[in-house]
Every structure is written in structure tokens, then in C-alpha cells.
Amino acid sequence: MVVVTAKMFFNQGKLKEAENILKELIEKTNQEDGCIEYKSYLSNSSSDEIVIIEKWESQAHLDAHMKTKHFTELLPKIGEMCSKKTEISVYSPLI
């Protein structure tokens, strides 16, 4: 399994605008082969910060996800609303 966290920081007031795009990305991604879970969470300390937590069966499934039409088309639209670069971390099971 591969776990990914993608922390996004939105320009003030842009998160609401991004929600429909995020919803589409999340819905389509959750239908992908190898996707165990793909959810977004709002920070308790900042109304303009979210994290997407992804769980994939394998690195190959994650790689395939990053080539999908919805990922390559929707992610740049979301990125335009961010105040800084998304912080991405990738993890593998430890125990």
C-alpha cells in the first residue's frame, strides 16, 4: 500500500470556489482501480488549508492515477487558487 498526503494552502476566499473542482476530482479518483481511499479534510486551525489523504494498493496504481484525464486537467485549476506550492508526502507501511 502507498499513502499520500497533499496539503494545499488556498488564497483567502478561494477554497469555496475550489470545492466543486475538488469534489469532482475526489469522486472520479475514488472510482479508479487501486484506489482504497481518497478524501479531503479541512484544517481545524486554518479555513484556507486542506489535506487530501490518499491510499493506493500500489505505486503503479498511484502512477496511473497521476496520468488520468481528471487529474491532469483538474489539478492545475486547483493549483491556480493556491497561495503556495502543495506539500506532498508519500508513505509506505512501517509495521
* 35-93 confidence digits (pLDDT tens): 999 999 999 999 999 999 999 999 999 999 999 999 999 999 999 999 999 999 999 99
pLDDT, position 36: 98
The CA–CA distances, whole Å, from 83 to 33, 52, 65, 66, 90 equal 32, 16, 24, 22, 22
Q: What 3-state DSSP class applies to 35? A: strand
pLDDT, position 4: 98
pLDDT, position 50: 97
The CA–CA distances, whole Å, from 10 to 26, 67, 69, 72, 79 equal 17, 24, 23, 19, 8
d(CA 32, CA 25): 11
pLDDT, position 39: 98
The CATH class of 2-91 is alpha beta
pLDDT, position 44: 97
